[in-house]
Amino acid sequence: MAKKIDEKALAKAYNDALAAEKAGELEKAAKGYRKVLELDPEDHGGAAVRLASLGLGETPPKAPDAYVETLFDQHAEAFEEILVEQLQYCVPVMVRQRLQELGLGPFKKLLDLGCGTGLTGGTLRDMVDEMVGLDLSENMVEIAHEKDLYETLYVAEVVDYLEDNEDGPFDIVTATDVLPYLGFLEEMFFGVAENSQSGTYFIFSSETLPDEAFGDQDFKVGGHQRFAHKGDYVKRVLTAAGFELVEMQDITVRLEEGEPTPGHLVIAKMK
């Protein structure tokens, strides 16, 4: 049975750690975030990724499910306004443009991983006969459901779904704004491969940093608690999973505090 969380103590520990981080007292902040993890091992507040972003904790293989679910449940209602209007996120539109420019589609069956409120699904709806979407946030899926875009929707974690589903194979798989919450890519990419057939297109966005910022790491948590991936690592895992790289474009994924976040738009095809 899960231990009951002392919400008051947790809120105080988290706020103290955050205040120390903002004041530049990083060791004090790290101590605070470790206390947060003791109080809440499932890590609803994302203390592990904050520690990693400060360089004072190990880089986790992914953002904790509880953190991602909480984050998006809280922001679901204002999600599109924040992402599109404030952060100028337009990756779904880029995906559509590249598909059209490359003369790809229409498609029979699309899998939209991390579908959120349906931004990518809405952008591609007229190019696809049937769409399946999933997201870890129940509130996000509810909003996507209200739009009546997808034939099937699931509240699920990406890798779990890819292992267990019986909906495939798909002939196009999208994952826009999913990789920033994953570090280790092997499980997801191999899972996508298992749900693909020869000729399936896999299209996704990732965030990145200058190569020197990674050191000997393939991925790391950046300053905004999001995972950045080295381009070579992305290519390597795609190849290992049986995909052929069609193109990897340099893009600006979004703005953070007015500054562009560099990344890649990747199109790969199952051999």
Who's near 242: CB < 8 A, 6+ residues apart? 193, 270, 271
Question: What pTM, to 2 d.p., does this model score?
Answer: 0.93
Indicate if 86 and 151 belong to the same structural domain.
yes
Question: Could you tell me if residue 1 is inside a domain?
Answer: no
Indicate if 116 and 241 belong to the same structural domain.
yes
Partners of 132 in beta bridges: 111, 152
Indicate if 64 and 174 belong to the same structural domain.
no
| End residue of a domain, out of 75, 103, 127 | 75
Indicate if 236 and 260 belong to the same structural domain.
yes
Question: Could you tell me if residue 157 is inside a domain?
Answer: yes
Indicate if 141 and 259 belong to the same structural domain.
yes
Indicate if 50 and 85 belong to the same structural domain.
no
Question: Could you tell me if residue 3 is inside a domain?
Answer: no
Indicate if 153 and 230 belong to the same structural domain.
yes
Task: Note the pLDDT of residue 1.
Answer: 46
Of residues 231, 250, 234, 243, the one with CA closest to residue 269? 243
Question: Could you tell me if residue 94 is inside a domain?
Answer: yes
Question: Could you tell me if residue 68 is inside a domain?
Answer: yes
- Encode burial over 47-57: b for 16+ CB neighbours within 10 A, e otherwise: bbbbbbbbeeb
| End residue of a domain, out of 39, 55, 75 | 75
Count CB-CB contacts under 10 A for residue 210: 9
Question: Could you tell me if residue 96 is inside a domain?
Answer: yes
Locate 153 and state its tokens: 């929707």
Question: Could you tell me if residue 26 is inside a domain?
Answer: yes
| End residue of a domain, out of 44, 75, 106 | 75
Indicate if 15 and 146 belong to the same structural domain.
no
Indicate if 95 and 207 belong to the same structural domain.
yes
CATH of the domain at 123: 3.40.50.150
Helix (H, G, I), strand (E, B) or coil at 207: strand
Indicate if 133 and 247 belong to the same structural domain.
yes
Indicate if 28 and 141 belong to the same structural domain.
no
pLDDT of the chain along its 271 residues, tens only? 456 788 899 999 999 999 999 999 999 999 999 999 999 999 999 999 999 999 999 999 999 999 999 999 999 999 899 898 888 999 999 999 999 999 999 999 999 999 999 999 999 999 999 999 999 999 999 999 999 999 999 999 999 999 999 998 999 999 999 999 999 999 999 999 999 999 999 999 999 999 999 999 999 999 899 999 999 999 999 999 999 999 999 999 999 989 999 999 999 999 9
Task: Note the pLDDT of residue 3.
Answer: 61
Domain containing residue 194 = 79-270
Indicate if 154 and 236 belong to the same structural domain.
yes
Q: How far is CA 261 from CA 188, 222, 227, 234, in A?
A: 23, 10, 12, 17
Structural domains in the chain (count): 2
